[in-house]
Amino acid sequence: MSVASIEVCETPLVLYTLRRADDALILGHRLSEWCGHAPMLEEDMALANMGLDLLGQARELYGYAAKVEGRSNDEDRFAYLRDVRQYRNLLLVEQPNGDFARTMVRQFFYAVFADLYWRGMMRSSDTTMAAIAARSEKESAYHVRHSSEWIVRLGDGTEESHRRAQAAIDDLWAYTGEMFAVDDSERGLIDRGIAIDPAALRAPWLKTIAAVVGEATLALPGNDWMQKGGRDGRHSEHLGHLLSELQSMQRSFPGATW
């Protein structure tokens, strides 16, 4: 009853583009899970809006990956017909929504990184990536602002909201190191000016994170041990469950449209 996964020819640029597309799709999907469940109507709309931005970014990136790969794959096949081990997203973005504080801390960690990343990528020598970056950074700026304001409100709110926000920071911290990692495949793209070196984003990322967390009367963990694996397809157990929901229709009814 189920359709087989596709094969992807992961040249460095295809892999690089798929990694960023997967980040956007998986986080966008996580946000969409809040639809109809958020603590209030305005926040329901905000989460859906941010999810929609991310979905739009994912579509452009998948479309570009398909063009670079030059085979029969397209954005839908990348999204619906790759299995867990073929997904290349950060472990951070696949972590479950948990409570609202956890969703916002995850969003905050990612958005501050994505905003710096897209602004840097506007200088990419790859004109398509530079164009996608120019659009995406306008959206990430709002995501940074929205999530930052919530971190302050939750941290400097009630005892309960403070406790939950701090727990989320402590639990998700180990997934932040992966954002700044570079492997050999990406090193070549950085040398050619197609990609930017994410290691250079760590200091400005930490500066913004520390400023907002401080304003929120919260604290950053002292532990700097970091978990990696998502970029190579080694995921937490959560991604498989997410994909089973995201892909079930296309796996069961290949090519279904409406």
Partner 1 sequence: MVAVTHNDAELRRRAWDAAAGVVDPEIPVLTIADLGVLRDVAVSGGQVEVAITPTYSGCPAMNMIALEIELALERAGIGRPKIRTVLSPAWTTDWMSQDGRRKLREYGIAPPQASRSRRALFGEQRVACPQCGSGDTEVLSEFGSTSCKALWRCRSCREPFDYFKCH
Q: For binding to partner 1 (CB under 8 A), which residues are involved?
A: 42-43, 45-46, 48-50, 52-57, 59-60, 127-128, 130-132, 134-136, 138-139, 141-142, 144-146, 148-149, 152, 208, 212
Say if residues 23 and 111 touch (Cβ distance below 8 Å). no
SS (H, E, C) 97-163: CCCHHHHHHHHHHHHHHHHHHHHHHCCCCCHHHHHHHHHHHHHHHHHHHHHHHHHHHHHCCCHHHHH
What is the Cα–Cα distance from 70 to 13, expressed in whole angstroms? 12
* Nearest distance, CB of residue 115 and partner 1, angstroms: 10
Assign 205 to helix, strand or coil. Answer: helix
Distance CA 15, CA 9 (A): 8
Residue 151 near residue 105 (C-beta atoms within 8 A): yes
With helix as H, strand as E and coil as C, how does 232-251 read? HCCCCCHHHHHHHHHHHHHH
In the complex, what is the shortest distance from the CB of residue 3 to partner 1, in angstroms, rounded to a whole number? 26
**Closest approach of partner 1 to the CB of residue 212, in Å:** 8
Shortest Å, Cβ 122 to partner 1: 9
What's the closest the beta carbon of residue 21 comes to partner 1, in angstroms? Answer: 12
